[in-house]
Amino acid sequence: MNLEEVKRLKERAITELERLTELADLENFRIKYLGKKGEITQALKSLKDLPLEERKRLGPELNELKDYLEEAIEEKRRELLLASEDKELDLDLTLPGRRPFFGALHPLTQVINELCAIFLRLGFEIVTGPEVESDYFNFTALNIPEWHPARDMQATFYLESGALLRTHTSPMQIRAMLERKPPLRIIAPGKVYRCDADVRHSPMFHQVEGLMVDEKVSFADLKGILSYFAKETFGEGTKVRFRPSYFPFTEPSVEMDISCVICQGAGCRVCSQTGWIEILGAGMVHPEVLKAVNYDIQQWQGFAFGLGVERIAMLKFGVDDIRLFFDNHLYFLESFK
């Protein structure tokens, strides 16, 4: 065998390979050329009978042809296997593909992201903390001692260890002030837990806590920031009002109402014909809370606020049953894409 014969052998093998349409024929082809008695195998064995110079010229060519055919056979095998699978499945490759299913963020996640974005624009920083809290952070440091009647309002889940599931995100006020020096602006979104369940309450729900501490923080700052928040969330035409209230960790304390988003203040069933809906509680940070974190109350003042995410979401989306947010019905969740 010479170089010309090797060239013709390669051309013949390639032509035969291209014409194959069955896996059984491909195996016969492999045996014909690369089997123990195959043409290329025999040609390689016959090299030992040739002069040295001939072996140097023909050896690399035959080895190169052998490697080429091995790769070409494997490629042909994959091609025939795919064709065989398509045939078995009776696929019509001309049909249009199925549109992929796209998910979406949960409506509560959407609202949390929107609320956080509003306060981030105002210079606040997001902080997070544990959902399993100590009595000290959840109550005592927030000016709610053991005898305080406000504890009865919380309907707390206590654990055998003596810890509890936090009833509000307010413990993050204490944790943030202990870790940082003023001035500071933080918001703390997260899950909270209370023993309460009906169409407007859930044992687990979400709050966003806000805190601002600085040297000259006033109630006017509180009103300005929360008014901006209300208009950004519910629309520029939203009206707000502040009513005196009571929270043990703020003094003075207020509840903020907005003009009803359903009747635009005219009066309806949702707002009990008043034209107003309460959306959050707030107030100036109580001096006892600042003392608990060793802040100088002569130098530093602050305000805090807390709002329920589910309540905001129910108003924004017109949902009248909080349980819909947690039942995981696709027909409901898909409407928020």
Query: Which residues line the annotated binding site?
Result: 251
Residue 86 vs residues 75, 93, 100, 113: alpha-carbon distances, Å: 17, 9, 22, 46
- State the greatest distance between any 2 C-alpha atoms of the chain, in Å, as a whole number: 110
Both tokens assigned to 287: 């001096």
Beta bridge partners of 214: 301
Residue 259 vs residues 179, 213, 241, 262, 322: alpha-carbon distances, Å: 38, 29, 8, 9, 21
With CA atoms as reference, report the closest residue to 173 among 255, 291, 251, 289: 289
List binding-site positions for Mg(2+): 251
Beta bridge partners of 190: 207
Are 170 and 190 a contacting pair, CB within 8 Å?
A: no
State which H helix or E strand residue 288 sits in. Answer: helix 287-292
Residue 221 vs residues 54, 187, 228: alpha-carbon distances, Å: 96, 16, 11
- CA 328, CA 13: separation in Å to the nearest integer? 62
- The 3-class secondary structure across 261-277, one letter per residue, is CCCCCCCCCCCCCCCEE
Strand 250-259's sheet: what is its strand order? Answer: 125-126, 184-193, 204-214, 301-308, 276-285, 250-259, 240-247
